Amino acid sequence: MRFPIRRLSTCLVLIWLWAMLVWMLAACGSPSPPHWESCSDGIKPQSDVVLVTVDPRDPQTVYLATYEPGGLYRSTAGGMSWQWYGEGLEGVTVLSLDFDPENDQTLFVGTMCGGYRSADGGKTWRRMSGLPAAAIYTLAMASRGRAIYAGTEAAGVYVSRDGGASWTRTGPERVSILSLAVVQSGMIYAGSSGEGVWISDDDGAQWRSAGAPLDEGHVPNLVATRGGALWATADGLLYLSEDGGESWQLAGPPGFEARSMAVEAHGGEVIYMGGRSEEIAVSHDGGTTWQVVASGVLESDITCFGIDTTRPEIAYLGTKGDGSYKTTDGGYAWSAASHGVGKVVVSALVNDPQDAVTLYAGTVHGVYRSTDGGEGWSLISRGVGESYVQALVMHPEDRDVIYAGAETGVYVSRDGGGSWKWASRGLGSITIFSLTIAPDDHDNIYAGSWGNNVLRSNDGGASWAPVHHGLETLSVYSFGIDPTNPDVLYAGTVEAIYKSTDRGESWRGLEGMRPSITAFALVLDSTDPLLVYAGTTDGVYRSADEGETWRGTQEGMGCVTVTSLALDPTAPGTLYAGTEHRGLFRSTDRGEHWISWGLPETSIYAIVIDETTGRMWLGTDEGVFRS
């Protein structure tokens, strides 16, 4: 039997057309991720500075190391601009730095996991063998010879006499060494954690305790001047020894708690001390008289100092979270000097319900506002200092009312961010992770906290009280309210999800997830009151029966920690999940399947979607992005 050629050709054409149609439908149903545009101009970067050191051979060259995010930077313009300078140190936190006095291309750093050496002026770094893979808190070069000493975590002092090629331990044993000073005579002084100052007068062969009261205590700072004076901070107090550590006397201003200290090493006349918050104590006569001045650094502890060895009136300080500052008048006035260091971290993000292009961002430095969709930002929370804001919510009907959850509690602005009130002052300092307004009663507000369960306000945020009533945990990261029945509440905690059916008067734990799971995000679907989504340390979980049973829905997502969730108001069934270090994911079938939706190496902490246009903004560990 012969098959007609013409009929065969027609069948092949129809099959090809059908395949093309299926492919086109599949392509249309699986659009590619949008282009994400960074839009964080005006938001101050987060930068925890561990050390700032002026190159003794070139005072215009300054090195700066940060803890969070970790990195080593160099400025060749006196701190006015910085460049990342850590090839070989990626992912490593630098704690200490010193220079080889005989070779200007050789530098050493101590890190959280050992010591590194650079032979090309700091451009590239290599691990040094012989040192423990532990924290190297301090490094000190001998003024003569090639000996370099390293203070370690729980392993005493190590010494190298061949430029870092090999190391040997000298003691004291099983002691954490936080600071070192080596003087011209060869004496070595080591400040420890909890055991005071140790002294060696034979190049580290033997060690003995210093005289009282520095024979014990926490000694993070130790400086020996060329005139023979020895300065140390111990448990927040400044001490001076003029007899090689045999006896000590208090030398700082009364009542000043020192967090950091630096002394001009040549004559010892200029001394800087950093305290809590913004206070600095300055002496220009070797500690005889002191002046306590405000540095202008808002709400940040001062962690370290670096002094210009040729002009000690020029100095730098590092802060916890606020970068570096510089003085040119001996410490009386300071200006920011860390442009380009650190990264913008946005933990919370909301938009004005009446104006989608007006946005508010919660950061480590407070609340910022943009009135142009993220093109530019300005700080609006100066009245409450630079407090770390991790939660934001706006009143649904009154755009002037903004609630901010910070590391010290709940703050309220009733004039669009012009002024702020510490609304939870009566409860003391409480870290707030989430804020939620009841849909049926906008005076009823809930706050998830660290250590105090849920806080509730029944008067529009004017006063707050803790809600316990059956919550076995003390820390609540996320919160959700059933949009169809505001009596039903959900709390995501560090170990489980809890549910209340009486507005928080009583709670019970929900089962069905992996034990000890942390829920960072909760979302309830207004189109289906039975659906509840949870973003957890084990991906996304979904409940189709109001939380009674749960099922993990990670297909296409893999093993991730989900830090934020949002339902698309313009596309029913579409859900977005922000993850830790894995970017954004999208599901169009109510969380059953997921695809990557951009920013694959970024942590997404907040998702905002315009209810009219579907345009998105993301708060991340790299700033704000918009689609």
Element (H, E) at 17: helix 5-29
State residue 185's pLDDT score. 77
205 Cβ contact list (under 8 Å, min separation 6): 170
The structure tokens listed for 513 are 């997830």
pLDDT for the residue numbered 386: 63
pLDDT of residue 468: 75
Question: What integer pLDDT is reported at residue 23 of this predicted model?
Answer: 37
List, in order of start, the domains of the chain with CATH numbers: 344-466 (2.130.10.10)
Q: Which residues contact 90 (CB under 8 A, 6 or more apart)?
A: none
Q: What is the pLDDT of residue 46?
A: 83
Structure confidence at residue 73 (pLDDT): 93
| Average pLDDT of the chain to the nearest whole number | 89
Tens of pLDDT, residue by residue over 180-230, are 999 877 789 999 999 999 999 988 889 999 999 999 999 999 999 988 899
169, containing H or E segment:
strand 168-171
Give the tokens for residue 394: 């706006």
List, as one string, the DSSP characters of 448-505.
EEBSS-EEEESSTTSS-EEE-TT---SBEEEEEE-TT-TT-EEEEESS-EEEESSTTS
Supply 334's token pair.
């300071």
Q: What is the pLDDT of residues 317-348, one digit of tens each?
A: 998 888 899 999 999 999 989 887 888 999 99
pLDDT of residue 501: 94
Task: Give residue 520's pLDDT.
Answer: 96
pLDDT at 394: 95
**Coil, strand or helix: which one is 42?**
coil
User: Cα separation of 575 and 591, whole Å?
Assistant: 7
Q: How far is CA 555 from CA 564, 592, 598, in A?
A: 17, 7, 17
User: What is the distance of C-alpha 186 from the center of its chain?
Assistant: 40
pLDDT along the chain (627 residues), means of 10: 37 42 41 91 89 93 86 93 89 92 91 95 93 95 82 95 93 91 88 96 90 95 90 95 95 91 88 85 94 75 92 93 91 88 92 92 93 94 77 94 94 94 91 95 94 90 86 85 93 91 90 87 90 95 94 88 95 95 95 95 96 94 95
The pLDDT, as a whole number, for residue 10 is 44
Rounded distance, CA 474 to CA 451, Å? 5
In contact, 431 and 460? CB cutoff 8 Å: no
Please give the backbone phi and psi of residue 604, each rounded to the nearest 5 degrees, phi first. -110, 115
**pLDDT tens digits for 264-289?**
987 789 999 998 767 899 999 999 99
Report the candidate in 487, 387, 389 with the shortest Cα–Cα distance to residue 432.
Answer: 389
DSSP code string of 514-572: -TT--EEEEEE-TT-TT-EEEEETTEEEEESSTTSS-EE--TTT-S--EEEEEE-TTST
- In this prediction, residue 226 carries a pLDDT of 84
Spell out a b/e string for 361-388, using b for 16 or more CB atoms within 10 Å of the CB, else e. Answer: bbbbbbbbbbeebbeebebbbeebbbbb
| Beta pairing partners, 378 | 369
For residue 248, what is the DSSP state?
Answer: -
Query: How far apart are the C-alpha atoms of 272 and 258, rounded to whole Å?
Result: 10
- The pLDDT score that the predictor gives to residue 114 is 95
Instruction: Return the structure tokens found at 590.
Output: 């109510």
The reported pTM is 0.76
Residue 457 is predicted with a pLDDT of 95
Question: How many Å apart are CA 254 and CA 276, to the nearest integer?
Answer: 15
Q: Is 307 helix (H, G, I), strand (E, B) or coil?
A: strand
